[in-house]
Structure 1
Amino acid sequence: MSSVAQATADQSNSQEPPPPLVFTDSAASKVKELVDEEGNPDLKLRVFVQGGGCSGFQYGFTFDEVMNEDDSRMDKNGVTLLIDAMSLQYLMGAEIDYKDDLQGAQFVIKNPNATTTCGCGSSFSV
């Protein structure tokens, strides 16, 4: 095998799989701003799914200092996003973003797994 072919093979083998979801720059920047305001660099944004809402499931966001054993972790721009294993199965392929527009400022989840969503955007069904 030529050295070019070997280098190409080595690069393709060392590539990491794509992340299970997208954590946008806008969301990471807002999390960083909120963490800085709290003055606690150990805070991480936890995103979770729980039963409830008008469509069966609803999204939740909270800050947490502790990473649990079953959590998935994403780091971006100096902040950490945590998702528990149960919630991750509902959020695979989703985009977590932060929007500040005429409808207000909020974290938004664009979830390709949701078959229906509520008008408020925080409730969904699969």
Structure 2
Amino acid sequence: MKNEIKLFLTKTAIKKIKHILKNQKNTKLKLRIYINGGGCSGFKYGFKLDDKIDNDDILITQSNIIIIIDHISLQYLTGSSLDYLENVYGSKFTISNPNAKTTCSCGESFGI
């Protein structure tokens, strides 16, 4: 199901997602972003490659990339930005989330 809910992707995130997908044998894979309970602040971001799209999933397209978000996670991600960071500590996708009232110092969990 397509929707015009906003999730912004930085140029760095777009480049990394394209690179990851290009190196996969399964051309149907897309990046799924989801929210789990847990983490130091209550909720935790999750990322995985997925070729299954459920009827209630939301598909967000930007720069020829399709991001899958389940309908429950969407309420926590609307208006967020996805970036990809590489530094001396490692590399990872990060989310800047205007809906988060609290975040942990590592940036991997948040509270509403």
Normalized against structure 1, the TM-score is what?
0.80
Partner of 2:33: 47
**For residues 91 and 23 of structure 1, what CA distance do their matches in structure 2 show?**
12
Higher strand share: 2
Higher-helix-fraction structure: 1
1:70 to 52, 56, 71: 56
CA distance in 2, matches of 1:29, 1:70: 27
Partner of 1:83: 69
Identity of aligned residues (%): 43
Deviation at 1:76, TM superposition (A): 2.5
> Counterpart of 1:74 in 2: which secondary structure?
strand
Deviations for 1:90-112, whole angstroms, at most 9, x for unmatched residues?
Answer: 01110011112233211000001
Matches of residues 1-126 of structure 1 in structure 2 within 5 Å?
19-126=5-112
* RMSD of aligned residue pairs (Cα, Å): 1.7
- Per the normalisation by structure 2, the TM-score is 0.89
Return the alpha-carbon distance in structure 2 between the equivalents of residues 45 and 54 of structure 1. 24
Deviation track 1:68-89 (CA, whole Å, cap 9, x = no partner) reads: 1111112233321111111010
Q: Which runs of 4+ in 1 moved over 4 A?
A: none
Size of the aligned set, in residue pairs, is: 110
Mean Cα deviation higher: 69-78 or 106-115? 69-78
Deviation at 1:30? 0.7
Question: What is the identity, as a one-letter code, of the residue corresponding to 1:87?
Answer: S
CA contact (8 A) 2:35 2:45 kept: yes
| SS in structure 2 at match of 1:38 | coil
Name structure 1 gaps, 5 residues minimum: 1-17
The offset of 1:19, in angstroms, is 4.2
Higher normalized contact order (CA 8 Å, seq sep 6+, divided by chain length): 2
- Who wins on radius of gyration, i.e. which is larger? 1
- Contiguous gaps of at least 5 residues in structure 2: none
